[in-house]
Structure 1
């Protein structure tokens, strides 16, 4: 029984010892083998690999993928015309030589990101100091990013290379500091209000001009219509007078009778009027008394009317 236990224990110890000598390198990583704290080997090929068990050898991993570093500093920078601006940028970089990276930068990606952040910020500061705000928002922006990338590469590949490669440097935002931004917005708002007020004033003036012209045309149209109406009315009155004169000239008795009827119409044709006359002796109703024979008599004088 003791022999079986000894064999089982030995097998377990051997399995543990064997597992401590094997490790797997992922295709997205570098495997770095350390021997007593010194880099013994860098493994770039993915798959199963072997090493001595701890503490003789240890293994650590470093990311070999393309990494992105975003700016986290909101401190302003001075342009050539002494304007304070805030920029946002990002850097695409990767570790290409783990041995140099570990010796000169650090043991993980965070150490490289921290140092790279300082280098990129200093490069941007130097380049922005030489350029104006107009250059930062124009086509010269590409020249700025190219210059920053060149300076960063010179720094990371200098006397003590970092073992990294900077693939791209980009600016995502350029803006004034908050105090200047508020001032710019206020000036823009004032300018827009000035333009709006100018447009309103111009529109009001044009409106008054159009209304005045319309009123003038209306008065002219009314005057012309009144003139034409009076002309037509005059022509009609003249024609009517001619027709009356012709008719009266042919039959004077009819003319006398017609004038009598007009006199009656003018005297008793109003609502509320009262006539006080004597039909037997008054000349006013002689036409009615005489009948047709009295049509040739003189036209009666209008009777006196008493209004109630």
Structure 2
């Protein structure tokens, strides 16, 4: 009877150890493997992967789908002629380099969205301040959007 109890408990310990050494990466996620707090590997392909037990290696997941950020700001922006305008915008964004994203922002996607929100809002304010209301509505709308996109991309890539 003692041999059966020992065998069952040994089997349970072996299963627990084996389950702590496996992780699954979904096709909608990046798997980031940390070894003693440092990024060791980024798993981009979905499937079953192996790692060392938790004190040595841990896994975190980051979404790699296309994310949407919408403006929640109702604060008016001043044009070149000091007219107040409220601009609604949205941005579609994706994490393309998980290591750089974690170094600059961390694992929280909300923190990345907050930083991106600040960059887009500031870019819009700078570009709207250079133009009149007529230019914003009629002649330079596409140019405004191109300038804002360029500034946001420069700020994000430079960060």
Say whether residues 1:116 and 2:116 are aligned partners: yes
Q: Deviations over 1:22-76 (max 9, x none)?
A: 1111111100001111111000001111101111100010000111100011111
Which structure would you say has the larger RCO, counting Cα contacts within 8 Å and 6 or more residues apart?
Answer: 2
1-structure distance, mates of 2:66, 2:138? 29
The correspondence of residues 1-308 of structure 1 with structure 2, limited to 5 A, is 1-158=1-158, 160=159
1:106, distance to aligned residue in structure 2 (A): 1.7
2-structure distance, mates of 1:139, 1:4? 83
Segments of 5+ residues of structure 2 without an aligned counterpart are: none
More strand by share: 2
2-structure distance, mates of 1:19, 1:13? 10
More helix by share: 1
2-structure distance, mates of 1:74, 1:2? 72
Q: Deviations over 1:98-150 (max 9, x none)?
A: 00000011212111100000000000000000011112222421111111010
Please state whether the residue corresponding to 2:17 is helix, strand or coil: helix
1-structure distance, mates of 2:51, 2:135? 56
With the length of structure 1 as denominator, give the TM-score of the two structures: 0.51
2-structure distance, mates of 1:32, 1:86? 40
2-structure distance, mates of 1:138, 1:5? 81
2-structure distance, mates of 1:89, 1:136? 14
2-structure distance, mates of 1:157, 1:108? 19
Q: Deviations over 1:253-287 (max 9, x none)?
A: xxxxxxxxxxxxxxxxxxxxxxxxxxxxxxxxxxx
Aligned residues: CA RMSD: 0.9
Segments of 5+ residues of structure 1 without an aligned counterpart are: 161-308
Structure 1 moving runs of 4+ over 4 Å? none
Please state whether the residue corresponding to 2:138 is helix, strand or coil: coil
2-structure distance, mates of 1:13, 1:6? 10
